[in-house]
Structure 1
């Protein structure tokens, strides 16, 4: 790659990052890019090469978060406009493209609701729980595939993967009360979300940038889902209370119709909002991570103390180990969400040190949990649940060790932030592979018990 191409690539990445700060309008981004190019030209004229000139010019231009806040102060009305459901302009809510996309989303939401309703009608609760993700995920993947105009080959591969997973979940002779059936129900959504990620990436899953985009999409989707859930809970609660005063019981309607259609519909609508408002919610990510990172670290330290003081590791409560796994997964999600919204050009600071402390605390908890699991397996023998939990904790340990090492190098300014991003995005598919192993391999290995 020649120096000119390298410079254009760096400027394109810089522009993409700036563009995600929605307080900055496209015209403003153009103006900022012009200033950046002028600074680079002046610096190269003094004898610096393109890479050095770019880094110096960006530093002199100012931190992007500071620039975003300055634009937000000068153009505060944009912050209100970006909360509108569909953006203004040629693709706004009056355009045929916007109306067509909304129609597609609503049709897919209804389709997902119908699928869940049919499943609830013809399957018992155990089979429904094992298949509920499979009833909804193809509709979400279908929306993303339609949005990105996936090729027939990619669509065929995704369809085959969904069908294969459906065959495994329903053709295996699971014992309804067995552990492998529960493990399949828990791990199948991880495989399904990986397939949704393939649809989101548009066939470019090998790209680290696209995988990080999917991490960002997942975080923003979670925020929207929480907001929709809170708003819906208030609305439904008020409706139940008002109608309850006149003797009308809506609980059967909630169970038979609102839940089967409402939950899948909320997922599709939330995905549409994320796509329509690209990275608007990303501005919340720094606030959320700065609030919850220190709190999570304290919780991990307390959990570590509880584990260490619990006495013999074979007596550690099984439910406690499950909760600790959930906490470790939450730590990983918090770490990924924070990295996905961080300015990659910013220098390491106090918050990066806090994240390193959280990773170290998580590693300590994971080490004790792993010891407890190995001790229990040696004492009582292996079971599907124990092996699945052990595998997950080993994967988390590898992920956290490498993350901690790279974060330490970044804090000491011996490594770039890009190395940390690449590690996280390249390791994520490992969890999907492990989940597929639990769903496909564990049942026959453990006799479907």
Structure 2
């Protein structure tokens, strides 16, 4: 086979693989369905090649001929707008698609109202400890219900998610959290549980988002992408909402009307969960808009975050002996490392896995190396402090998180360097990110459920 034929065949395989990954992102298509559809596509391509078309032409025509996948082809064309076959399959959105989106929005608004009612009920209890433990339970189950409805989540998977979430809710609300001042909301294990619980529930939400196909790499990466885009939309909605609230207070303040009680009792409890759920709908409905923003955002914030990491490393090393490093500084380092991993995940999810290595990939490798250096110094400081003063719930949680981050960074750095040196593929880098997500779920579950009894609920 000639070199041209080999390159042409490789091009066809990459197009088929991208098409298959896109098909897997459809709500109603399972991996088995995708495999069957791929076999059908390949069969048509083979027939067309035998009839005299080249691989690219055969692929374009075969996709167009799959009439039962018009919607899939249309969306795939939007995703890969630079391809010639966009002109063959891209047609305007059908009225049924538009109606479906508005129907989805109506269901989601109803769920947002339900979340607002639950939040208002929690606030009415006037108990900070109860609210801190249950705020995530007041919002995330409604978003999970939306995904379960829109993705037709199997009853068995839905029941399992409900059972797990209910068991966690009962456990954390029955735990007898205590503190020196008698206020449970200030106890160490309470704070650890309240801060780790939303992360655990968010990862459980990922099962609903993927339609139960959590083991599928493409859908797990979709969930990572969804998380990053949700942050963007929620931030935009929050800033717009904050501006409106400021204008509201300013307008009524001019005429000496105090609207603060009305705002706190009726607007705030519904506005925040409502904005969160509507942001989720916007991500689903306007994917092509945000996906154009993602590469820009990652290219802006990656070099800035690298500078932040270098500054953090200097601060750690300039702080004197590692035993004297301030505890708050170590907590801040953990927050920065989590931010770096979040940015890295989002950046990877926004990248074309078939593209060759570029200078920006080397910048990401530098970001990973800098994060690794900060992580090693922070780990050393934590181990030194524990050896000097003993174990506490906070120190154990911080040490565990840094170990989890350390393994993640090592794996990412190794695979990324292999890719840049042309000894591996970027797909391996992607798969490492999604395969590692259950480790975070397991660690947050340990902190939420095991730490309180292990450390006496103090």
Task: Give the structure-1-normalised TM-score.
Answer: 0.83
Say if 1:145 and 1:202, in contact at 8 Å, map to a contact too.
Answer: yes
Q: Aligned match of 1:329 in 338, 360, 364? A: 338
CA distance in structure 1 between the partners assigned to 2:141 and 2:192 by the alignment: 21
Say if 1:113 and 1:261, in contact at 8 Å, map to a contact too.
Answer: yes
1:135-187 Cα offsets, whole Å, 9 max, x none, are 11110000000001111111100110110111111011111032101100000
Q: Aligned match of 2:17 in 4, 10, 13? A: 13
| Shift in Å, 1:279 | 4.2
Structure 1 gap segments, 5+ residues each: 1-5, 21-32, 48-63, 82-86
1:341 aligns with 2:350: yes
Q: Aligned match of 1:278 in 261, 284, 287? A: 287
Q: Aligned match of 1:388 in 394, 397, 422? A: 397
Name the CA shift for 1:246/1:318 in 2 (closer, same or farther; >3 Å). Answer: same
Name the CA shift for 1:144/1:167 in 2 (closer, same or farther; >3 Å). Answer: same
| Shift in Å, 1:202 | 0.8
1:31-80 Cα offsets, whole Å, 9 max, x none, are xx99xx69x949x9999xxxxxxxxxxxxxxxx99974698xx9xxx9xx
The equivalent residue for 1:90 is: 95
CA distance in structure 2 between the partners assigned to 1:41 and 1:226 by the alignment: 50
The equivalent residue for 1:121 is: 124
The equivalent residue for 1:30 is: none
Name the CA shift for 1:376/1:245 in 2 (closer, same or farther; >3 Å). Answer: same
1:295 aligns with 2:267: no
CA distance in structure 2 between the partners assigned to 1:372 and 1:141 by the alignment: 40
CA distance in structure 2 between the partners assigned to 1:428 and 1:234 by the alignment: 36
| Shift in Å, 1:250 | 2.2
The equivalent residue for 2:247 is: 238
| Shift in Å, 1:275 | 1.6
CA distance in structure 2 between the partners assigned to 1:447 and 1:18 by the alignment: 49
Kindly tell me the number of residue pairs found equivalent between the two proteins.
401
CA distance in structure 2 between the partners assigned to 1:232 and 1:66 by the alignment: 31
| Shift in Å, 1:9 | 7.4
Say if 1:198 and 1:205, in contact at 8 Å, map to a contact too.
Answer: yes
| Shift in Å, 1:242 | 1.4
CA distance in structure 1 between the partners assigned to 2:130 and 2:149 by the alignment: 30
CA distance in structure 2 between the partners assigned to 1:105 and 1:222 by the alignment: 18
| Shift in Å, 1:16 | 6.0
Provide the secondary structure at the position in 1 that maps to 2:95.
coil
Provide the secondary structure at the position in 2 that maps to 1:448.
coil
CA distance in structure 1 between the partners assigned to 2:108 and 2:384 by the alignment: 50
Name the CA shift for 1:279/1:425 in 2 (closer, same or farther; >3 Å). Answer: farther
1:172 aligns with 2:175: yes
Say if 1:131 and 1:169, in contact at 8 Å, map to a contact too.
Answer: no
Say if 1:92 and 1:98, in contact at 8 Å, map to a contact too.
Answer: yes
User: RMSD across aligned C-alpha pairs, in angstroms?
Assistant: 3.1
The equivalent residue for 1:358 is: 367
Provide the secondary structure at the position in 2 that maps to 1:150.
coil
Name the CA shift for 1:147/1:238 in 2 (closer, same or farther; >3 Å). Answer: same
Say if 2:14 and 2:354, in contact at 8 Å, map to a contact too.
Answer: no
CA distance in structure 2 between the partners assigned to 1:354 and 1:66 by the alignment: 26
Name the CA shift for 1:247/1:409 in 2 (closer, same or farther; >3 Å). Answer: same
State how 1:49-448 maps to structure 2 within 5 Å. 68=81, 88-93=93-98, 95=99, 97-175=100-178, 176=184, 177-448=186-457
| Shift in Å, 1:100 | 2.8
The equivalent residue for 2:34 is: none
Say if 1:293 and 1:334, in contact at 8 Å, map to a contact too.
Answer: yes
Task: Give the structure-2-normalised TM-score.
Answer: 0.81
The equivalent residue for 2:61 is: none
CA distance in structure 2 between the partners assigned to 1:46 and 1:228 by the alignment: 48
